[in-house]
Amino acid sequence: MIRVPPMLLFALLALNTSVLLAQDNPRITIIADAFSEHDDVRLDWGFAALVEYRGKRILFDAGNDAELLAENARALGIDLTRLDFVVVSHRHGDHANGLRHVLSINPDVPIYAPAGDEYFGTTTSPAYFERTRPEGTVISGDGTSYVLVETDREGRVLARFGRNVPLDPIPAAERRDSIAALKARLDSIPVGLDRVGGMPEAVRKLDVPRRYPAYMAVYVTNDGGVWVRRWPIGGGNRTIFDVFARTGEFRRTVVLPHSIMVEPTPYLSGDVVVGVARDPVTDESIILRFEKDASA
């Protein structure tokens, strides 16, 4: 996977969009969305589109559901084995889950995704885009429990990573804000929700999570180790990692006395951790280094 800075990615997309309008016969076909002018496609929560421009075929986002992406592509006569590359706008499941289907039929297609893309401060957990190992395997989880699974391109399970840890409740004020934001998004859909497929019933009922997920990110180190970043139980200005062997055995927990950003990816090793943090006074980015004695 090729990772590019998000602002550069969106600048290029904006530039290319303006150029598209000036070209002969450019075409954008919506494959997955909450509404469509095509009666033979299923509606869904998420987005995917095929951009055809100057002889190139570009998949922009992959939608929320792999099976629905495959079904709608067939209905629209779109061959997803014939792609020059894929662009993922951001790493939320409703824009990336369909990559499971794309990679199953087109495993070598280049994928461009923002390098510094976080989860916009929400409690959304990565459903698909967790971390890809150099061997081409993927570590993923659904965010509902502390269980992460490593699979190869054929979907075979190679290892599991997880622990039994308590989940922190989400403060009431934060849940109210989340419910209001979700309702505004549902109200913006220009068709009835009965026409939208793939939407979880909890979303329709505005039933947002009551507890934070057990993990917020996963990293694979140069030596093959897997570092899972947990939500800090009880809050506070800390960073907590659970460290696993590549075969799934839990090794230790590393607690840093300061919160660092999820992205840019921190440098992680058995002796030192280096990450980027936000200065609480100046709001500028600062680099922090932690030595081995921070391990717990």
Contact 117, 264 (CB under 8 A): no
- Res 265: pLDDT: 82
- Res 262: pLDDT: 83
Domain annotation covers residue 187: yes
User: Could you give the number of structural domains in the chain?
Assistant: 1
- Res 271: pLDDT: 86
Residues in Cβ contact with 198 at an 8 Å cutoff, skipping those fewer than 6 apart: 42, 43, 44, 45, 46, 64, 65, 68
Contact 38, 75 (CB under 8 A): yes
Domain annotation covers residue 178: yes
- Res 24: pLDDT: 54
- Res 235: pLDDT: 67
Q: Note if the bond before 264 is cis, omega within 30 degrees.
A: yes
Domain annotation covers residue 212: no
Domain annotation covers residue 194: yes
Give the C-alpha separation, 86 to 102, whole Å.
9
Domain annotation covers residue 262: no
Domain annotation covers residue 154: no
The range of the structural domain enclosing residue 197 comes to: 172-204
Domain annotation covers residue 177: yes
Q: Which of 120, 154, 117, 119 is nearest to 135 (CA)?
A: 154
Report angle CA 45, 46, 51 to the nearest 5 degrees. Answer: 140
Per-residue pLDDT for the chain (296 aa), expressed as one digit of tens each? 444 444 444 444 444 444 444 445 788 899 998 877 777 788 887 899 999 998 999 999 999 888 999 999 999 999 999 999 999 887 777 888 888 899 889 988 888 876 544 433 333 334 434 444 555 678 888 777 889 998 887 778 999 999 988 888 888 888 899 899 889 888 887 777 777 766 778 888 898 888 888 888 888 888 888 999 988 777 678 899 999 998 999 999 999 999 998 877 899 988 899 999 988 888 888 999 998 754 44
Domain annotation covers residue 196: yes
Q: Is the pTM of this model over 0.85?
A: no
- Res 138: pLDDT: 81
SS3 content of the chain, % helix, strand, coil (to 5): 20, 30, 50
